[in-house]
Structures are given as C-alpha cells and as structure tokens.
Amino acid sequence: TRKRRQPEPPLAEQGVLRNEYFELRIDPTTGSIHSLTDYHTRGNRLTQQLALRMPAWASTLPVRAEEQPEMLYSVMAADEVVVTASNTQFGEIISRGRLVDRHARRLAGFEQALRVRRGSRVLEFDIRLDVEREPDPDPWNSYYALRLAWGDATAEMCRSVHLTSQSTDGVQLEAPHFVDVRGEKTRTTLLSGGLPYHRRFGLRKLDTLLVVRGETARRFRLGIAVDLPHPAPAALSFLAPPKVLSQ
C-alpha cells in the first residue's frame, strides 16, 4: 500500500516560528527571540532583543558598568505574545509590551511582528516603538536599538560597502544594506533595511540603532537571513519588497 504523505506543519505555533531552513523560539516573558537554530548545525545561532541604552544609569549601579554592561540597557516586558497568522506558507507572531528600566519604570511601548515564509531564508521584523523616554544627546552611546548576540566568538563580521561585502573589525559601523556574521559553517546576515548605523560590542554582539535623540521614525523593518549565499540582491529586494495584489 502507498504511504500517505504527511501534511506539512503550519509555520507558526505558540512561541515558535519555523520553515524548512530555521526555527526560532520566542521568550514568553520578554517577547524577544530566545533562540534561532537551523537543522544542520548544533547550538543556538542568535538571540535578539529591543532596548534603550542609557550610559547615564552607570552612576546608579552598585558595580562598575564595565563589569556588567547589560545594566546600561532597558529590559523587555511582554504583555502578550500571540500567533496572528499560521498556515503552511506563512507564519506570524506579534509580541506587544513595554521597555522598562531596572526599577520597572516604563520607557517605551513596543510591538514586534516576526514573519516567516515557506521557501525563504529570511526572518522578517516589523517593529513599532512608542517612545516615552528620549535617549540622551550622544547618538553613539544612547539610543533605542535592535540588539543581536551570537554564540560563535570566532565568526568574522562583514559590512556592506556599495553593495560589496567588506570585512571589518570596527566598533561604529555604517552599513545601510547588510551586516554579515560568518562562521566556519554558518552565515547569518542582518538585512538592515536602510538603517545605516550599528555599534559592535566585543566579538559576539551588535546594536542596530533605531531611534536616537531627535529621530521621528517609529516603525522599522529589518530581516535576519540564515545561510544566504548572496546578501546584496536580498538586501536590495528587502528594501523594496514586492507589492501584494489583492484578488
């Protein structure tokens, strides 16, 4: 007898998005990405959060900021994490909540929609911020950011320069198209969607600046691509996604 073909699973379940290239899990407490894994390599490839960085908080810390640099950032607190679309072709999960300081005082509201599509190596971000606390005046030190961290400290970082990929060990980066993190067997690409400024911390962390003092934009679209062979065409198409025509 012929075996029945197993139905394809939906791309979104509570707290999980997946397709044939990757799977990600969302932290129900924060609404951030707890893990991003593929099906060929071991271990977590990436974590993500939204945060406000405020160096002025250093004066209130019980330890030196150099010893605990994470204390200069706000914390995500999710009010809800909901599956808003799930079928065999498309999945979306939206997290809504607050960014708070270490005393639980509200600094901003956030909405982060994460989307996956069958056949696509790109995880899409659609982020909205409701800023209540403005960053301090120094834009390279105080800002709202999308924060990424990865596990491979030996990975090489490259940035887009006129749509070519150039290796960099810089701290303050300008890359409006993409930033590449290349491991021995993996390649993780931030499609920055026209957001040009990024700040690197050590060997495993990157902040992409969303809002600095005086910035009026509050909605941002970015992508994370898993093992993308050619980032430049994907970065360009991500800047101008195809329009969906209504039937």
Q: What DSSP character marks residue 237?
A: H
Helix or strand run (H / E) with residue 49: strand 47-53
- Right CATH for 12-239 from 1.10.540.10, 2.70.98.30, 1.10.940.10, 3.90.105.10: 2.70.98.30
Neighbours of 137 (CB within 10 A): 10
List the domain boundaries for the chain. 12-239
**Closest by alpha carbon to 114, among 49, 179, 175?**
49
Task: Lay out the sheet containing 143-149: strands in order across.
Answer: 12-13, 16-18, 23-26, 33-37, 47-53, 143-149, 205-211, 197-201, 172-174
Q: Tell the residue number behind the tokens 């960053």, with chain if given.
A: 135
> pTM score, two decimals?
0.92
Across residues 179-194, what is the average pLDDT? 95
Query: pLDDT at position 57, please?
Result: 83
pLDDT reported for residue 247: 42
SS3 at position 238:
helix
Q: Per-residue pLDDT tens for 204-223? A: 999 999 999 999 999 999 99
Dihedral (CA of 196, 199, 200, 206) sign = negative
pLDDT in tens, 76-120: 999 999 999 999 999 999 999 999 998 999 999 999 999 999 999
What's the rounded mean pLDDT across residues 201-205? 93
Could you give the C-alpha distances from 167 to 34, 156, 238, in angstroms and in order? 28, 7, 22
